Amino acid sequence: MKFIIPELETYIKDGVFCLYSAIEDTLRHQKYDLSCVDIFMLCNGFNVVYESDLNRIGYSGLDDVIENMARENLFKINMCYMQQDKDELFQKVCNAVLDNNVVILFVGTANLNYSNVFREISDENRGHCILMYGIDSEQGIVYVADAYFKDSSGRMKKYQGPASIEDIRKSIFGFVWFDTDKTSNLISKKMVLDTTINNLKAFMEGAMTGNKFFGNLAFKRFVGDLNKLEALDEDSFAKTCENINFTIKIRSAMVIIDNMISFIRNNANFQIEGYDTVLESLQTLRREWDKLALNVTKAGLTKRKRMIPAICEIANNTIQLQDKTFSNYLQYLEKVKIT
């Protein structure tokens, strides 16, 4: 049996995140006019979490991102996450596709073989999101689309086509698809703007639950813990530095800033007095996070712990700049008037 959902289009979107990219492609196929940045804001991409582990700061889980979107009650969300029986999970995905639904798959990269990029970047089984839109059981393949992954040089890559059923079955740990029974015109730019303002306010306030720190407080605790690098052995130090670079660039700070920039750059109605100043300040902040990531990477590759004091100084200066930049950005958005 062969079944393919027709006319699914994907395109490379730099500076976002695999889940937001997948959501945009899915909703665009269902005739929603939402950009990846709109989706980032509706999903509360500001909601980062830190649990005192320097290896990780960012979204707490792919399911949390979807649940943030579900709270906006825009459409019915069908999600299954972290189910142990992969055969049952895969069968549910196939049933959804056969019902003409483009399904977002939550997968680990260890068994993805449609591109050798996943082996080049890391041997780790990192979480990733792709789309499944067809199946050919006789040939032992499914049809997938992946419009957000990078090669070892940082270039964005795209894949759309067949993948082994067995590879996908091994990789999958969850899925989501959307029942869009409401019209897209319910999601206005004003709604996206208001949601962004509310989410950014919550980010600036921060929150703490047990050993979990959220929002800007997560970044502050993360930066404050960088001196813990000193206590690690050489191999752990090198690996943690690699993960810090990854988490800054892919999971947290730079992704947030890129979306904040795109949010005002891509919407003419948001370009009011002070636009150039706000844009420049965001770009400056991004360069500081990039400098921090670069220095951490250099320290890890050379295993030079003597760089830690300088890294901590850069990090502290960056977080102070972030406080000021994000506060000014919030004040700027509150002045935007659209109907």
Q: Which residues pair with 74 in a beta bridge?
A: none
The band of 186, judged by pLDDT with boundaries at 50, 70 and 90, is: low
Mean pLDDT of the chain: 88
Q: What is the arithmetic mean of pLDDT over 136-141?
A: 95
Q: What confidence score (pLDDT) does residue 16 get?
A: 64
Two tokens, residue 215? 């929002």
pLDDT band at 72 (very low <50, low <70, confident <90, very high): low
- What is d(CA 34, CA 85) in angstroms, rounded to the nearest whole number? 34
Query: Of 3-17, 91-105, 111-125, where does the model show the most confidence?
Result: 91-105
CA–CA dist 43, 34 (Å, integer): 12
8 Å CB contact between 231 and 305: no
State pTM to two decimals. Answer: 0.84
Q: What tens digit of pLDDT does each residue of 264-296 get?
A: 999 999 999 999 999 999 999 999 999 999 999
Helix axis angle for 253-265 and 308-335, nearest 10°, is 30
Poorest-confidence range of 10-19, 108-117, 189-198, 261-270?
Answer: 10-19
Closest CA relative to residue 89, chosen from 71, 65, 108, 110: 108
**What sign does the dihedral 178-181-183-189 (CA atoms) show?**
negative
User: Which whole number is the average pLDDT over 61-70?
Assistant: 72
pLDDT at 245 over 70: yes
Nearest to 202 by CA among 44, 66, 333, 325: 44
Q: Can you give the pLDDT at residue 250?
A: 74
Q: Give me the half-sphere count of Cα atoms (radius 13 Å) on the Cβ side of residue 104.
A: 31
Q: In the prediction, which pLDDT does 109 show?
A: 86
Mean pLDDT, rounded, for 234-241: 95
Predicted confidence at residue 14, as pLDDT, reads 56
Give the model's pLDDT for residue 17: 75
Q: Kindly give the residue spans of alpha helices, DSSP state H, lying in the chain.
A: 18-29, 36-42, 62-70, 86-98, 117-121, 165-171, 189-205, 216-224, 234-246, 253-265, 275-302, 308-335
Long-range CB contacts (< 8 A, 24+ apart) of 149-153? 149/18, 149/115, 149/117, 149/118, 150/117, 150/121, 151/117, 151/120, 151/121, 152/117, 152/120, 152/121
pLDDT value of position 181: 62
pLDDT of 35 over the 90 cut: no
Does 128 score more than 80 pLDDT? yes
Indicate the pLDDT class of residue 240, thresholds 50, 70 and 90: very high
Task: Give residue limits of the domains in the chain.
Answer: 2-31+76-179, 188-335
Best CA proximity match to 47, nearest among 251, 211, 264 = 251
Tell me the C-alpha distance between 339 and 334, whole Å. Answer: 13
pLDDT tens-place string over residues 304-335: 999 999 999 999 999 999 999 999 999 999 99
Q: Tokens at residue 82, please?
A: 């972290």
Proportion of the chain above pLDDT 70, given as a percent = 91
Residue linked to tokens 């689309």:
145
> What value does the mean pLDDT take over residues 135-162?
84
